[in-house]
Amino acid sequence: MTTTTTLPDPVIDADLLTKTYKLGEHEVHALQGATLKIYPGDLLAIMGPSGSGKSTLMNILGCLDQATAGTYRLDGVDVENLKDDALAEIRNRKIGFVFQSFNLLRRTSALSNVEQPLIYSGLRSRERRERSASALRAVGLGDRLDHQANELSGGQQQRVAIARALVTDPAIILADEPTGNLDSKSGAEIMCLFQRLNEQKGITVIFVTHDQRIASHCRRIIRISDGKIVADEVNADQLKACIDV
């Protein structure tokens, strides 16, 4: 029994991550010792100028890539020495991705799109459908289950993508410029949805963005420059994304 619990265990615990790309003779130090802890239930933005290493960091945090050096614990699992297939399993169980360009399967129903990660979890068809339907209801698309992905509006497509990220009940959701391809109204709706999911269900969301508007809705903002974390602050005046209700 621990009696000194002040904070829960961090869901992301990264220490001195570096990433070096070799381009022939030349070396690119995309990350130069990034250290960060993220706790469950956070809503956080990683910001920085183009080429500062945001995507590199996100790929590592998302277990799509591995750091050259440093340690990374995700939800209690050391991932730095895992093989490809083990990483795939980690991504399946612990991470939900939301991309700028949605990345839905065309000519495939919303429900079936959301089901895809659960196929790789090895779930039976009935349970998959039930969980996918409830994930779609959670993003407000309970009446669009059988619509083809390419017949939905951009905002709706991104909601399907969010449902797909939610459906595995992951430890974190990584969203890379999720409003980048949306008009401002749909973008606001998506941010409202993220905020609501975060507040009501305690889902941990990490945005990777250079969009100040996204960051202003977050509780915490990490700034990165030249592969180093240069600022990590609580956003004192976090904006409410949901206008009505």
Question: In the beta sheet, which residues pair with residue 18?
Answer: 32, 69
Per CB under 8 A, 231 contacts other proteins: no
Give 20's strand partners: 29
Q: From other proteins, Mg ion, ligand ADP, none, which one binds at residue 91 (CB under 5 to 8 Å depending on kind)?
A: other proteins
Query: Would you say 96 and 135 are in contact if contact means Cβ atoms under 8 Å apart?
Result: no
Q: Which of 129/213 has CB closer to ligand ADP?
A: 213
Q: Which among 1-9, 41-49, 88-96, 190-198 is the span making contact with other proteins, rule CB under 8 A?
A: 88-96
The correct pick among 4, 7, 84, 245 for binding other proteins (CB under 8 A) is: 84
Cβ atoms of residues 43 and 218 within 8 Å: yes
Name the packing angle between helices 125-138 and 110-121 (round to 10°). Answer: 130
Site string for Mg ion, 39-58 (x = CB under 5 A): ----------------x---
> What tokens appear for 159 in the block?
């909601």
Segment interacting with other proteins (CB under 8 A) among 56-64, 194-202, 225-233, 235-243: 56-64
E-only strand ranges, the chain: 12-23, 26-38, 43-47, 69-74, 77-78, 95-98, 172-176, 205-209, 220-225, 228-234
Least gap, CB of 65 to Mg ion (angstroms): 13
User: Should residue 59 be labelled a site residue for other proteins when binding is judged by CB under 8 A?
Assistant: yes
DSSP string, 9-44: PPSEEEEEEEEEEEETTEEEEEEEEEEEEE-TT-EE
Q: Does 54 bind ligand ADP (CB under 6 A)?
A: yes
Q: Which residues bind other proteins (CB under 8 A)?
A: 59, 62, 64-65, 84-85, 88-89, 91-93, 97, 99, 103, 105-108, 116-117, 119-122, 124, 164, 168
